[in-house]
Structures are given as structure tokens and as C-alpha cells.
């Protein structure tokens, strides 16, 4: 029975590992291709600095992108620890705890990535308030879906 549960957890973990790696890759890339670009004026003392650096939405983007990257990287590491645990010991409770931790980290990464997207879009579209608000409202449907799925999973018997 424990072997069957362990196998199901590891199958789910493989899918989660792919998702966590994708989030890590996207957030890493977003950290270097910042919204708004970089100051390129050769005479400017701010050459190479982010153009939108002083905007609150941009700062929120950078922080949430860093949270998403760090959480997904920690989730990837936790999945590696799960695999190592299976090699060295056969305790289901350890594997289950690691899986719960990794899943939580991945959820944090997904939430932070969505917030980073919203704040990045808002920072770059601030001159067109109507479009910026429209994009933010559409993007916020993720949170409604998240709550709906959480409710459905929580109400299972």
C-alpha cells in the first residue's frame, strides 16, 4: 500500500517539477528583460538602469518576480530531495511532507508570477489607463479560478 501511494506522489511530482522548472525559467528571463527596457542614452548617468525604476508598479513587479523565481527554485530543489529520499530510504511520511512543501512553494511561485505579470503590464501600460485596467482585470480572473478550484478541492469528501 505504501509503495502504491509513494508511486502516485512521485508521478504527480514529475508533472509539478516540469511546471516549477517552467516558472523558474520564465521568471528568470523576465528579471533580465524588464518591462520598459533599459536607459540607453550614452550621456546619461543612468545608462543601463531600468527606465521604469521609480514606478511603484515596476518595483512590485521586480519583487513578485523574485518571489516567484525563488519559490519555484526552492520547489525544484525539494523535488530533488524527494527523489534522493526515495533512493536512500523508503519512508512514505518523509516523501509526503516534502511533496506538501514543494506544492506549497509552487503555489506561491504561481501566485507571485501572476502578480508579477499584472504589475509588469500595469507599469508598461500606465499611459493608457483604460488598457492597463482592462489587462489587470482580465489577469485577476486567475485569482477567481484559484479560489474556485481551492473551494472544490476543499469540499471533497
* φ, ψ of residue 62 in degrees (nearest 5): -60, -45
Q: How confident is the model at residue 1 (pLDDT cuts 50, 70, 90)?
A: low
Q: Give me the helix-helix angle, 92-124 and 129-139, nearest 10°.
A: 160
Average pLDDT over residues 117-128: 89
Which of the two residues, 130 and 89, has the higher pLDDT score? 130
Domain range for 81 is: 2-154
Percent helix, strand, coil in the chain (nearest 5)?
Answer: 80, 0, 20
Q: What's the burial of 96, exposed, middle or buried (CB within 10 Å: 0-12/13-18/19+)?
A: middle
User: pLDDT tens, 20-40?
Assistant: 999 999 999 988 888 777 777
User: pLDDT tens, 77-94?
Assistant: 998 888 777 665 567 778
- Is residue 81 within 8 A of residue 25, CB to CB? The reply is no
For the chain, the domain total comes to 1
pTM, two decimals, is 0.81
Amino acid at each position: 500500500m505504501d509503495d502504491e501511494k509513494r508511486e502516485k506522489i512521485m508521478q504527480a511530482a514529475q508533472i509539478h517539477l516540469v511546471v516549477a522548472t517552467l516558472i523558474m525559467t520564465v521568471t528568470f528571463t523576465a528579471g533580465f528583460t524588464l518591462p520598459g527596457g533599459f536607459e540607453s542614452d550614452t550621456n546619461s548617468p543612468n545608462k543601463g538602469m531600468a527606465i521604469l525604476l521609480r514606478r511603484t508598479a515596476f518595483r512590485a513587479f521586480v519583487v513578485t518576480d523574485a518571489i516567484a523565481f525563488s519559490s519555484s527554485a526552492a520547489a525544484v530543489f525539494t523535488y530533488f530531495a524527494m527523489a534522493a529520499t526515495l533512493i536512500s530510504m523508503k519512508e512514505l511520511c518523509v516523501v509526503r511532507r516534502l511533496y506538501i512543501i514543494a506544492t506549497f512553494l509552487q503555489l506561491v511561485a504561481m501566485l507571485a508570477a501572476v502578480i508579477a505579470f499584472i504589475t509588469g503590464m500595469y507599469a508598461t501600460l500606465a499611459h493608457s489607463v483604460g488598457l492597463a485596467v482592462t489587462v489587470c482585470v482580465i489577469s485577476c480572473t486567475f485569482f477567481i479560478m484559484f479560489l474556485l478550484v481551492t473551494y472544490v478541492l476543499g469540499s471533497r469528501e
